[in-house]
Every structure is written in structure tokens, then in C-alpha cells.
Amino acid sequence: MDLTAFLKELCAAPGISGYEHSVRDLIRRAWEPLVSEVRVDPLGSLWATRHGSGKAPRPKIMLASHMDAIGLMVTQIAGDFLHVTSVGGIDARILPGQLVTVHGRSALPGVVAAPPAYLLPADAQEGVTPLTELIVDTGLPGDKLAEQVKVGDVVSFAAPARELQGGLLCAKSLDNRAAVAAVTRCLENLQGRTHVWDVVAVATTQEELGVIGARTSAFALRPDLAVAIDVTHGSGPAAKDLPDKTYPVGGGPTLTLGPNIHPALFAAFTALADRLEIPHTIEVTPQHSGTDAFGIQVAREGIPTMVIGLPLRNMHTPVEVVSPKDIERAGRLLAEFAAGLTADYMDTLKIDA
């Protein structure tokens, strides 16, 4: 797999939270040749299982990466224009001037526009234009627009991916298609290798709305261990002095430590990364990790869970930036960990270790 080309393809697909079908189909095509079986759960999460060599019933490890993306939803058709609200966390500051696609009866190109300040209500004329005052312009007159679009239709960002200097990639929806690519690389790395455990790759739905797909998938699959792979805040010009909150893009994945993380898994991943000489940094999350890990960790009687982060600049914007090298490293780390799990591993895993 050409990783950069695959990332561009993943990020071009819309897949807004709750409407992930287009990106799910793309991921399914990539995963099916690499696993033993694939299925879609009732909420739309994709489960891809690669059977292990151990005696059934085998223990299983769940590798979870959410496939949904933030976006917009039509709330009103006002003449020739659309009013929208957010699906997931969007900062209104980044919206004016954005290219978008309106997913109505067909895919309509559009732009997000901010009316001139003097045309806005008095309390909205200074500072950031509120989302309620922004409009989406497709160029269609009102009667034609109403034939093509209805309230509730979703709107996705349409900025094209761009390769930057230093081997970096800029694209929309790298949160969290970058992690989907890391899991895909893991499955590729497991080809031709024997592993005792079942490995279940899960592309989860609706993470941006409350880790919903992770909760239902973990409950149904009941894995013995789980790893959530997600993006984390990458350091940049506006965040270079936040060493406890941002991490170097291109410096390798982050290994997360905190209440959502099983301490023995953190220790095992750290030791493995050191042994493999995979660059990494430690990310401390003293509360909710903000990832699928929380939903997985508390499923059923509790599931030992780890989080691997991919440093990303400009999170929740159409110009997110990652280093494909970090994705390659994360994929290798995941594959080596899964391949190294022994039949009695759970007997050695202690919460107080």
C-alpha cells in the first residue's frame, strides 16, 4: 500500500459522524484481503477479524480507530442560501471561505460565506462571526436549491489534500483517517506472520459525538485487550511552548499514560517501542483521554486498554497536518505487539503491576 496515496483517498471521502457509509466502504475494500472475515455492526462500525493460530476460543485484541469526521448539517434553506449547524466540534473561526460539498440529492459544491459586518445583527458585527450567521452558497437559485437539498442533509469539507515540505501531508479528516491508515499498515505487517490471538481491527462510528461506536463494538466483541489509535495535538508555531499538551510531528507516535490506560499495557508498549528503536513520546492524560479508549475501557466488566496517538497540527480544521512516518511507526508497533501476545498473556497482566 502506498501510504500517502491511501491517506489521500481516505480523507477525500466524507463520512461525517453518523453518515460514515462512504468511507466505510473504502476501508472495507482495503481490509478484506488482509483478514479472515469482515462484518458491519448495527451502528455501522466495521469489524475485520484476522484469526490467530491458538486453540479456540482464542483471546482477542481490538484495534480501534474511528472513521467518522466532523462536518455540518443543513438547518434551514433561506432563499438562495443554506444555514447550517455543526456535527462534532468545529470552531466557527475557520469556516468562512471554506470549500464544502452539500450532500443532497446529488453532491453539490459550495462555499461557506460570512456576510459583511454591516449586514449582521449589531451583537454579531465584531469578533468571530457566529455559525448561525454564516451561509453556504451553492450558486443555485432558491427554487432549484430546495429541489436538491433538504433540512438535515450533511455538508462536508472539500479542501483537497496537499503534500507539504518535510514529508508532511495536509488534508481534511486526518482526524482520524490517519489512525485508520495505521491500523491498515498493521494488518499488512501481519501478513505471513503467525500470531496466537485473534486481531480485530475496528473502524468505529460517531467518535466525535461521544465514542458511540466504540462503546457498542467493545460490548459486542468483548475483547481481552484493546488499543485505541487516534490523533493528538502536534506542536507548531502557535503551540510550541506547550510541552505537556503538544507533541512533535514526525517524532513518532505518542504512548499515553493516564486513568483510561492500563498501566501494564503502557509499560509493555513502552518497552517494545524501546526495543524496536521506534521513536515515541509519552503523553500524559490525567482525565478522559478524549478517544475511543474511554468507551472501550468501561464496556462490560472493564477492558484493559491502551492509547496510541499520532501528532497532528490544526486539529478539527480542513488543513490538518501529519507525518506519514509516524503512521508507519504506529502500524509497525501495533503489529509487533499483536504478534507477540502469548496464549497466557492475560495471566500476567496485573492492574497493580
Active site residues: 207
Environment class of residue 263 by beta-carbon count within 10 Å: exposed (0-12), middle (13-18) or buried (19+)?
A: middle
Residue type, 204: T
Residue holding cell 509497525?
332
d(CA 33, CA 249): 31
Neighbours of 47 (CB within 10 A): 20
Listed residue (158, 44, 152, 177) closest to 107, CA to CA: 158
Environment class of residue 310 by beta-carbon count within 10 Å: exposed (0-12), middle (13-18) or buried (19+)?
A: buried
Please give the DSSP secondary-structure letter assigned to residue 164.
P
d(CA 89, CA 20): 17
d(CA 18, CA 82): 21
Q: In this structure, are residues 188 and 34 in contact, taking their beta carbons and an 8 Å threshold?
A: yes
Residue holding cell 457509509?
21
Listed residue (316, 331, 333, 179) closest to 271, CA to CA: 333
Q: Identify the three-state secondary structure at position 303.
A: coil
Q: In this structure, are residues 32 and 194 in contact, taking their beta carbons and an 8 Å threshold?
A: no
Residue holding cell 479528516?
173
Q: In this structure, are residues 112 and 187 in contact, taking their beta carbons and an 8 Å threshold?
A: no
